[in-house]
Structure 1
Amino acid sequence: MNQPRPLAPSRFVRGTPAAAGGGRDRDRLVEKSRAAIAEGSASFTTASRLFDRTTREQVWMLYAWCRRCDDLADNQDMGGDLGEQKDIEDRVQAIRVLTRRALERQPTADFAFDALGQVASETGITKDMADDVIGGFAMDAGGFDAKGERDMLRYCYHVAGAVGVMMARVMRAPDDSFVYDRACDLGIAFQLANIARDIAQDGAAGRNYLPEQWLEDAGLTAENYLEPENRFALAAVSARLVDLMETYEASARLGAARLRFRQRWAVLAAARIYGAIGRKVRDRGQLAWDSRTRIGKPGKLRHLLAAFGEALVNRPRPPHTWPEYTRGELQPIKGW
């Protein structure tokens, strides 16, 4: 039986040549990434300006990938309202495929994934690092439900602690497990602040990241914690989140002490700004979800100046209590 002839002889068929950033112009990737972070996170934009130019550009490109993955998984635009979630498994699989292509230096037709390919080629970000982040989106797709504190922290590791590890690589942090553990702690601290701030918004979208045990301790359930009459009890749960955030925030400062000055200053500024968000949620109590908690420009400037002095002195105090779980105990999730 005759075999069908190929449309073109194989000697004329060539694979797509591998190139950092999928072959895109680096300056263009940087500019689009800068626009993405400016729109997606005012707090992180402020802190990122403290890095040297190369690190700043690489941070922007990594952020662009994180923001795009988050938007794809949640079917939203720049962190806005969650869209329809019925096809989330397919979207997470698309994230995996595009990320793999980007890390293989292949074009993806999406600037944020090409930006990841560019920054990975420059800093040595690995597929395992990216997979740990994608694991957080897979947890949402699988119907994540936190039974206890460790479950919640495991989720925080995947969606933010693992990003902290990638950021440490971008900042050329010392190749030391202690430093990378503290970078992970900072990411977890950020995520705990986010959870506290967004309890009502997440709940309205059908997502709850609060441990069932914590709700039970406060006399609440997953079904009634958002009821207006339960706001006082919910504020106590939120305060518990912020207390835990402060433990991870204090631990992270010890890792920042081993970074170069400008990297240290940027990290400490981000820690102060996100920490202030968490503490403001705690201070607002049951009114915390009547409007989105923000830190205004004057407040951010004060935190930038305070972080400068802290980075200059560089004598962080050890936390009163160390985080209960190590990075190794929180990674990775298998089967999500």
Structure 2
Amino acid sequence: MLTRPRLLDAARDAIQRGSKSFAAASRLFDRTTRERVWLLYGWCRRCDDLADAQDMGGRPGDQRGAAERLATIRALTAQAFAGAETGDPAFDGFGVVARECGITPAMADDVIAGFALDAADWRPRSQTDLLRYCYHVAGAVGVMMAVVMGVDPAHDDTLDRACDLGLAFQLANIARDLDEDDAAQRCYLPIEWLVEADIPPGEHMKPHYRPALVPLVRRLCEMEKAYEASARVGAGRLTFRQRWAVLAAAGIYGAIATEVDTAGKDAWNHRIRTSALAKVWHIAHALWEAVTPPPRTSVRPALGRRELAGRAAAA
């Protein structure tokens, strides 16, 4: 089995190639947290790439064989929890961080359930369905990230807030990546929203539907802001450097949602990215936020970790 330093090298490479935004924010953590975040990210990135037959978050490849790839993810993750060598640094690294921090198989299963939805060519019918998907692919990751930062798994409200940040990130991603998802024959806008806007399913990226699409995307961005505001309360309970890193990431992803909203029907003419200079600004602003008193309360959105997990279990 690869040594921990070798696994860290692979995880560092994965985050640098897979997400420049997360890579920038992760540098603000203390060393121990940073390394564990890298190992967790490496697993998430590898699972996502396997599920979508892609490389480091690029455009999804041939989706045939999705069920077999999902089975591979489940099998390798189970091996990692068992402490067995998988032959894949991302899964071996995940086994290390799971043992160090107390990540449970149930937490990982919640994330893998999101890949299962994509493998089944699932589409959200309602806003609740949309949020349930976001919970699996990002909110549940936020919960694991909180555990990696040392949050007590019994501290439900803080885990709820961590999940809210993941939900905010995914809502921003969906708003930004509508055209890329459409190219892969996917759409995460609820069917009910499309029907209300008189947009036929599968036609939302056609130029003549762009004006009707804009209010739906604004709705996504408003939801992102609500979940981000809730998450900022939880960030105030972390250590200083953890708080700084989380607030920097929140600022970067919140800015993506804001830019998509501001661009209106032109938001998908090119992929919206955060420049290096903008990242530096968000990191500096997050430092100021981290040293000032955090908001003590924020109205939490009606659907959060516990509500969405319950609905997922029922489904």
Corresponding residue for residue 65 of structure 1: 43
Gaps of 5+ in 1: 1-22
TM superposition score normalised by structure 2: 0.97
Aligned-partner Cα distance in 2 for 1:195–1:275: 13
| Count of aligned residue pairs for this structure pair | 313
> Helix, strand or coil for the counterpart of 1:78?
coil
Q: In the alignment, which of 215, 229, 232 is matched to residue 208 of structure 2? A: 229
Corresponding residue for residue 168 of structure 1: 146
Q: In the alignment, which of 241, 245, 249 is matched to residue 262 of structure 1? A: 241
Q: In the alignment, which of 239, 251, 259 is matched to residue 272 of structure 1? A: 251
Q: In the alignment, which of 14, 29, 41 is matched to residue 51 of structure 1? A: 29
Corresponding residue for residue 285 of structure 1: 264
Query: Which structure has the greater CA radius of gyration?
Result: 1
Aligned-partner Cα distance in 1 for 2:276–2:214: 26
What RMSD, in angstroms, separates the aligned Cα atoms of the two structures? Answer: 1.3
Alignment of 1:84-123 (within 5 A): 84-123=62-101
Alignment of 1:1-336 (within 5 A): 23-174=1-152, 175-316=154-295, 318-319=297-298, 321-331=299-309, 333-334=312-313
Aligned-partner Cα distance in 2 for 1:317–1:272: 19
Provide Cα deviations, 1:135-188, integer angstroms capped at 9, x if missing partner.
000011122111110000000000000000000010002441000000000000
Offset at residue 126 of structure 1 (A)? 0.6
Gaps of 5+ in 2: none
Offset at residue 226 of structure 1 (A)? 1.4
Distance 1:318 1:219, change over 3 A: farther
- Does structure 2 conserve the Cα–Cα contact (< 8 Å) formed by 1:250 and 1:318? no
- Does structure 2 conserve the Cα–Cα contact (< 8 Å) formed by 1:257 and 1:315? yes
Offset at residue 34 of structure 1 (A)? 0.3
The runs of 4+ residues in structure 1 deviating greater than 6 Å are none
Distance 1:135 1:186, change over 3 A: same
Q: Percent identity?
A: 53
Offset at residue 334 of structure 1 (A)? 4.6
Aligned-partner Cα distance in 1 for 2:34–2:24: 11
Aligned-partner Cα distance in 2 for 1:87–1:299: 40
- Does structure 1 conserve the Cα–Cα contact (< 8 Å) formed by 2:232 and 2:294? no
Offset at residue 218 of structure 1 (A)? 2.0
Aligned-partner Cα distance in 2 for 1:264–1:99: 29
Residue type of the alignment partner of 1:311:
A
> Helix, strand or coil for the counterpart of 1:283?
helix
Q: Which has the higher helix share?
A: 2
Aligned-partner Cα distance in 2 for 1:191–1:223: 21
Aligned-partner Cα distance in 1 for 2:251–2:134: 19
